[in-house]
A = this chain, B = another copy of it.
Amino acid sequence: MPVERNATNWCGWGWAASRYDFHGRRDAFLGWLGGRLGVDVGAVHTPPVDPDSIQLPGIRLSDADLADLATAAGGPDALQRDARSRLMHAMGRSLPDLLRLRRGQVSCAPDAVVLPGDAGAVAAVLRLCRERDWAVVPFGGGSSVVGGVEACDPRGRPVVCLDVTRMDRLVSLDPQDRTATFQAGVYGPDLEAALGARGFMLGHYPQSFEFSTLGGWIAARSSGQQSNQYGDIADLLVSCRVVTPQGELRTWNGPVSAAGPDLDMVIAGSEGTLGVIVDATVRIHPKPATYQIKAVLFPDFARGTAALSMIVGAGLRMSYLRLSDEVETATYLKMGGGGRAKELGLSALGVFGFKDQRCVALVGAEGDPRDVEHDMLAALAICRKHGGLSLGGSPARNWHRDRYLHPYMRDDLLDAGIAVETHETAVPWSRVQAVRDEVRQALNDALAAQGRKVHVMAHLSHSYPTGTCIYFILMYAVDPDDPMAQWRPIKASICDAVARHGGTISHHHGVGLDHKPWLVREKGELGLRLLRALRREVDPSSILNPGKLVD
């Protein structure tokens, strides 16, 4: 069952009916956060506008155009032109998206939404759009946080949103080859359920898991919370089928090939600019027989970082490996994430040298019981060598239980005038501390220039032998006069700091509109030319997701 979009929050995260509960300690947390930011959080109430009051841009397609489009997509049911559907497909779920939606500032919306049911219908839609020179924005769960699905065209052409979520079937599963082929519009839970019924799993759990699709994961080069064990989506991708304006591309379906450049690695990260991913073959894994997950407290971030580096460097098979810095650790405890009792327990640890710099890590393994036992013992021994103290499984299980709930916090805090922004990068291990500190400093400076304070948390979310992903979460009081004008220099300050240190502009969120100005720092001019050459070859009139990734 695809997600029913009308049951989701039109201007925020996830299900319309869900909220983050702060473990019953919302007021206490908001008071604490307000103190950090120097604002009276309780005095502000900035709810979103009534969505029915929003004036969308007019539809630029004629009734005849729309009829042709419906026919191409598979019939009248495969086209939506109502205001609510257009609004739900107008943009993604980044902070600037939320800031604009909540205020009813929707300057771009698709002229129509099509929902093709198979690859043939996708090809027919692309053919029509190419003939008529309409832009096409491929759209899965619509959970992009980088402006990756914004229904706009820099050239001002009509925009058709191509929603792939009706293509959500399991096509085939081969237990011997440990691969499964799905249509690309399948959402995370449906994909895992289909595999689970056969005793398998994919093991890809991005925070957007419930509201994002296989095709979106590939297009944006997503990573899941258990990527240490199962790999990022680029590792899980075996083969894909992509409909382009110049015909269909099917990449080779097999383990490893030396026959020229790897076209799967060209499609992964192409963000809808090279075609519409219609199906994909992915590696699957037998469901693990057992798992262990433990929280470990480190005296400081540097020692926790060193432990993670050693664990992945030793080739230990970890399914969870995550380290919060001292600010995130303190914040998490304030939010009640660790439980009241645990907070008190941790406070007492001060006497053992675990003071304000303490950092909590999650360390987990899953699979064969003997392998799990062996690797967890080895990993915890490394943690101990770096001053880590096991807190047992309970705080880790709390985190695991809440792992898809945190994004809801954004909407609640926006009601109280607090913006929550995220940004992630990846860097070699040797640059972790410098990048973490510089981004924090850059943010302090950027907010200070506005006469405000910022609360900056960081965690290491995905680790590799050569480096790690640093994930920043920042909170600041929204400027009620012009939140977008306020946001831009904040975003730029992070991106500049990251680029200065050679970090990637994105480890797993993608480029979209928001990161595009920084892409040249990472790819170089010639690298961008290569990407443009690919784009030109399959899409000479640049109808596919125009304005995103590269021009």
Please give the count of copies of this chain that the complex contains. 2
- Of B174, B465, B510, B526, the residue contacting A430 (CB under 8 A) is B174
Cβ contact within 8 Å between A177 and B258: no
Q: What bracket does the count of chain A residues touching chain B fall in?
A: 35 or more
Q: Is the beta-carbon distance between B263 and A530 smaller than 8 angstroms?
A: yes
Chain B neighbourhood of A504, CB < 8 A: 252, 254, 256-259
Which residues of chain A from 13 to 30 have a CB within 8 Å of any chain B CB?
none
Partner of A507, one of B174, B257, B532, B536: B257
- State whether the Cβ of A542 lies closer than 8 Å to any Cβ in chain B: no
**A467-B257 in contact (CB<8A):** no
Given contacts A309-B176, A427-B254, A467-B255, contact A549 B506 (CB under 8 A): no
In the complex with contacts A315-B371, A429-B177, A511-B259 CB distance below 8 A: yes
| Complex interface: chain B residues within 8 A of A468 (CB) | 255
| Complex alpha-carbon distance, A549 and B257, angstroms | 14
The complex places the Cα of A370 from the Cα of B377 at a distance, in Å, of 11
- Asked if residues A260 and B549 are in contact (CB atoms below 8 Å), the reply is yes
* A262 in contact with B268 given A247-B526, A317-B315 (CB within 8 Å): yes
Judge whether A314 is part of the interface by a CB distance below 8 angstroms. yes
Say yes or no for A367: interface residue by CB 8 A criterion: yes
Contact B268 A527 (CB under 8 A): no
A505–B174 alpha-carbon span in the complex (Å):
22
Bound Cα distance A371, B286 (Å): 22
Tell me the chain A residues, 255-282 only, with Cβ under 8 Å from chain B: 255-263, 265-271
Q: Cβ of A525 < 8 Å from any Cβ of B?
A: yes
B249 touches A262 (CB 8 A): no
Per the 8 Å Cβ criterion, residues 443-472 of A in contact with B are 462, 464-469
Interface stretch of the complex, out of A73-81, A185-193, A219-227: A219-227
Contacts A255-B469, A370-B374 supplied; 19 other A-B pairs, CB < 8 Å: A176-B430, A177-B428, A244-B526, A248-B526, A249-B526, A250-B524, A255-B427, A256-B462, A256-B504, A258-B506, A259-B522, A261-B269, A262-B266, A262-B268, A265-B265, A286-B313, A315-B367, A371-B378, A526-B538
Query: Could you list 16 A-B pairs, sorted by A, with CB under 8 Å?
Result: A176-B429, A177-B430, A247-B525, A247-B526, A248-B524, A254-B426, A254-B466, A255-B428, A255-B468, A257-B504, A257-B505, A257-B522, A259-B522, A262-B265, A526-B538, A533-B536
The 6 closest A-B pairs by CB, nearest first: A265-B265, A255-B467, A221-B258, A257-B504, A533-B537, A177-B428
Residues of A within 8 A of B (CB): 174, 176-179, 220-223, 232, 234, 238, 244, 246-263, 265-271, 283, 285-286, 309, 313-315, 317, 367-368, 370-371, 374, 378, 426-430, 462, 464-469, 502-511, 515, 519, 522-527, 529-534, 536-538, 549-550
